[in-house]
Amino acid sequence: MVYLSMLLPASYAFSAEQVTAQQFVNLQQGNTSFAGFRRAHAKGACVTGYFEPSGQLSALTQVPIFAQGTTPFIGRFSIAGNNPTAPDLKSPVRSLAVSFNISPTQQWRIAMNTPPVMAVSNPHDFYQQIAAIKSGPQALKAFFNAHPETQDFLNWKASYTPNQSLALERYHSINAFYLENSQGEKRAVRWYFEPQGHPMDVTSDTDNALFDELSARLLKGSVKFNWIFILSEETDDENDPAVSWPEDRQRVVAGEVAIEQIDMDLNAQCQSINFDPLTLPSGMSATADPILRARSAAYAESYRRRAKEKLLEALQ
C-alpha cells in the first residue's frame, strides 16, 4: 500500500492518520460510481483554443509559451461532483483544466477551480472536509468551527455569487508553483484566468444550463480570459493553499487565453486526459504543498478506475 505521506517531503509526512489515494477516491465516488467517468468533476465538456503571451512573464520563466507566438491547448470545463448528469447550477464549484503540448517531450497540465484558496491546508483535513460535506450541513458547520484555517475560504464563499456562465467565472490555480528562469532564479506564484466576457441575454435553468450557455456563446465568437500571475513575497507561505496572499502582491498579465470550440461528445479528446497538476514543463516546478502530491496520486487512481471501465466496456 502506498501512503500519500510516502510521496511527501519528510516535513509534511503525517505522524498520525494517513490518507491513501484509494481512500480519497472511494470517498469521492461514494456508493454510486458511474462507470468510465471521473470520480470527481465527472460532468464536463472538452474545449480547444490557444494562448497568446504578452511577453511580460518571460523574464521569470523558461516555459516557452510565455515568450512569443500562440500555443494551442485542449481544455475541459467541468463542475465538481461525481455525477456526470448533475444539474449544472447546483454545483458549488466550477472548473477549467488545460493541457499544453510544450514540446515533443513536455506537457503542462493545469486544473483550476473557482475558489482562490482551499478551505484546509493538508490532505488529511481535506479528507475530513469531504466526509463532513457528505454527512450534511450540521457536520460541515462543525468541521468549519473546528478548523480556523478555513476562514479565508469562508470569506471568499460569503462574497461569491455564481455566474450564469462558465465564461464569466474566475478560475484559480489555488496551489502555488515555482517559476524558474534561465538564471535558475525561482519565484513562487499563484495564477488565475480572469474572464473578459459579458453576460448574455439567454439564461436557462435546465440541468445543462451552463454547458448550453457556453455552446451558444461560442457560436458567436471565442471566449477570452486574461491569464494573471500573482508574485509571492518572502513572507507568503507557498506551501499552504488555505491562506490568501495579501491583495497588494504584484500581478503580471501573462497573456490572453481564447477558447474557440466546445465538443460535448463523451469520447472527445480531453476526456481521456489526466489533468495531473504535477505534469509540469521545464521552467515550472512544484512547491512542497502536500495537497499537490495528494492530488497527483488521487487523479491517477481515478484515472486508473475510469480507464479500466472504458476498456471493459469496449471489450463487451
Residue 299 among known ligand-binding residues: yes
Q: Does 111 bind ligand HEM (CB under 6 A)?
A: yes
Q: Does 302 bind ligand HEM (CB under 6 A)?
A: yes
Q: Does 43 bind ligand HEM (CB under 6 A)?
A: no
Measured CA to CA, the distance from residue 232 to residue 238 in angstroms comes to: 8
Q: Look at residue 284 and give its three-state secondary structure.
A: strand
- Sign for the pseudo-dihedral over CA of 165, 166, 167, 169: positive
Using the contact rule CB under 6 A, the part of the chain among 48-56, 107-115, 142-150, 192-200 near ligand HEM is 107-115
Tell me the number of residues near ligand HEM by CB under 6 A.
Answer: 31
Q: Look at residue 221 and give its three-state secondary structure.
A: coil
Q: How far is the CB of 202 from ligand HEM (least distance, A)?
A: 25
Residue from the set 5, 8, 20, 41 that interacts with ligand HEM by CB under 6 A: 41
Measured CA to CA, the distance from residue 165 to residue 89 in angstroms comes to: 10
Q: How big is the CA angle at 279 (ends 275 and 281), to the nearest 5 degrees? A: 130
Measured CA to CA, the distance from residue 221 to residue 224 in angstroms comes to: 9
- Looking at the Cβ atoms of 58 and 144, the one nearer to ligand HEM is 144
Q: What single string gives the DSSP state of each residue in 13-30? A: --SS----HHHHHHHHH-
- Looking at the Cβ atoms of 144 and 191, the one nearer to ligand HEM is 191
| Cβ-based neighbours of 73, under 8 Å, separated by 6 or more | 48, 49, 50, 51, 98, 99, 100
Residue from the set 36, 38, 143, 167 that interacts with ligand HEM by CB under 6 A: 38
Q: How far is the CB of 98 from ligand HEM (least distance, A)?
A: 9
- Looking at the Cβ atoms of 54 and 215, the one nearer to ligand HEM is 215
Binding mask of the shown chain, residues 62 to 91, with x at each position contacting ligand HEM by CB under 6 A:
--------------x-x-------------
Residue from the set 8, 63, 79, 118 that interacts with ligand HEM by CB under 6 A: 118
Reported as type and span, the H/E element at residue 210 is helix 209-219
Q: What are phi and psi of 15, to 5 degrees?
A: -85, -25
Q: Does 28 bind ligand HEM (CB under 6 A)?
A: yes
- Looking at the Cβ atoms of 251 and 310, the one nearer to ligand HEM is 310
Q: Look at residue 101 and give its three-state secondary structure.
A: strand
- Short-list 199, 197, 262, 251, CA closest to 227: 251
Q: How far is the CB of 78 from ligand HEM (least distance, A)?
A: 5
Question: What is the number of other CB atoms lying within 10 angstroms of the CB of residue 234?
Answer: 5
Q: Which amino acid is at 173?
A: S
What are the angstrom distances between the C-alpha of 221 and each of 167, 215, 218, 262?
12, 10, 5, 12
| Cβ-based neighbours of 168, under 8 Å, separated by 6 or more | 195, 197, 198, 199
Q: Does 116 bind ligand HEM (CB under 6 A)?
A: no
Q: Does 45 bind ligand HEM (CB under 6 A)?
A: no
**According to CB under 6 A, which residues from 266 to 285 bind ligand HEM?**
274-275
The verdict on whether 41 is a catalytic residue reads: yes
Using the contact rule CB under 6 A, the part of the chain among 34-42, 134-142, 150-158, 218-226 near ligand HEM is 34-42
Catalytic annotation, residues: 41
Positions in the binding site for ligand HEM (CB under 6 A): 24-25, 28, 38-41, 44, 76, 78, 95, 97, 111-113, 118, 123, 126, 173-175, 274-275, 291, 294-295, 298-299, 302-303, 306
